[in-house]
Each structure stands twice: as C-alpha cells, then as structure tokens.
Chains A and B, each alone.
Chain A
C-alpha cells in the first residue's frame, strides 16, 4: 500500500515548456486534489476532482489543466510554464464520504521554471 505517489519529484523547465505532473493513489479514494505550496503562503488549492469523471477549479487554477484519468490517477498539466509557477506541488486524496474524511498527501514535486 503506497498511499499517494507523485512523479517526478523534481523538475526544471524553461519558460514556455509544457509538462504533466502525475499522481496516483491506491486507497480507493473518490476525491483527489492538487495544491501548490509557496513560501509564506501555505498550501493553496489548484484543482480538485470530487469523483471519477469530474473536475473543478480551486483557488488558483489559471495556467493549469487537470485530468482525472480513472479513479486512481489525477494529473496536472502546465501547458506553457511561467516563472510564477515555480512552486512545490502536492497531490492529495480522500475517501470523499463526509465526516470521516482525512486528506492524505503525496511527497510533492518541486518545480522550477527558469
């Protein structure tokens, strides 16, 4: 049981390049999330998927797209990377059944855009 896994762990991009961050969970969770963490700002929600087949914007969705490929996988895509997207990205998942929910986080991806 690996929990929530993310790939890659580190990435350096040039401005304008594109890439996809991968996330997978093996806990049979329904809901998945992408957050970004910036110094002095805590974690902010980019996109989420309440269930397979649905995705919605969070607080800071501009410049990103997501795909809920199946129940296990939720990817985050940067179509044209900008220096402002330099951050640490976390994927999280939760059962999505209300009261008992606790979010479990992946190890994060450190992205640098030059």
Chain B
C-alpha cells in the first residue's frame, strides 16, 4: 500500500523569504501523480501544484515549485517570496496513475506554515 509522510508538523517563514516543505512517499508503482494542496483557515482545499511521475521536469506554478526526486521518493514544495496569504496547512498527496474506479488520493498528515510579517 502507498503511504505519504510529511515529517514537518509546523514550519515558519519570514515574509518575502523562501521556504521548503518536505514530503516523502512509498510506492512500488512506477507511474503515479503527486499533489500539493493548501488548506487555509477557511478549510477549503486548494490545489497548489501537481507532478506527473513520468515527467522529469519539476512542476512550477508562479511562486510555487517542486523538487521531485523519483529515486529517493521525495517531493518537496518550495514557496518563493512568501506572502501572508500563504499561511495555511499544506498537504502532500499521492494518486495512482491508473486509479481505476477509485482515483483516490492518499494524503500526508500536513505541515502548518506560518508566515511572519
């Protein structure tokens, strides 16, 4: 069974600085998807970025980028030029490539990011 581990329960960053959130996962499959979701205090789950395992190029979305290390099964999220609105819980998630009927997401336990002004 696949598992996702986020070893940093809490992180803090100064406004305008860069922070990296860690995620590792365990799977025996070669093709899969990885996601970072953001959950602000409003509780809404917002997709931040997505990575296809068969793509070697790291995904980027504006100030958000990932460092995908397939061999190490590592998927970290880098937030550049941090803003107060980035303060949230961040979840790493895994999905099988051939999800079949499920297509379910397997989530890590989350990292709570605080942004200091």
Residues A78-114 near B (CB distance < 8 A): 88, 90, 92, 94, 96, 98-99, 101-105, 107-108, 110
Bound complex: CA A40 to CA B89 (Å): 11
User: A102-B47, A107-B43 given as contacts; is B104 within 8 A of A41 (CB)?
Assistant: no
Would you call A43 an interface residue if the criterion is a C-beta within 8 Å of the partner chain's C-beta atoms? yes
- Chain A residues contacting B108 (CB-CB under 8 Å) are 42
Bound complex: CA A102 to CA B36 (Å): 11
User: A31-B103, A94-B103 given as contacts; is B44 within 8 A of A107 (CB)?
Assistant: yes
Q: Give the B interface residue count (CB, 8 A).
A: 25
Bound complex: CA A88 to CA B101 (Å): 24
User: A88-B43, A105-B45 given as contacts; is B101 within 8 A of A42 (CB)?
Assistant: no
Interface centre among B50, B99, B104 (most CB of A within 10 A): B104
User: A42-B109, A43-B91, A98-B98 given as contacts; is B104 within 8 A of A90 (CB)?
Assistant: no
Task: List 16 A–B pairs whose Cβ atoms lie within 8 Å, in order of A's numbering.
Answer: A33-B104, A40-B9, A43-B91, A43-B107, A48-B101, A48-B102, A50-B102, A50-B103, A58-B102, A94-B103, A101-B99, A103-B47, A105-B37, A107-B44, A108-B43, A108-B45
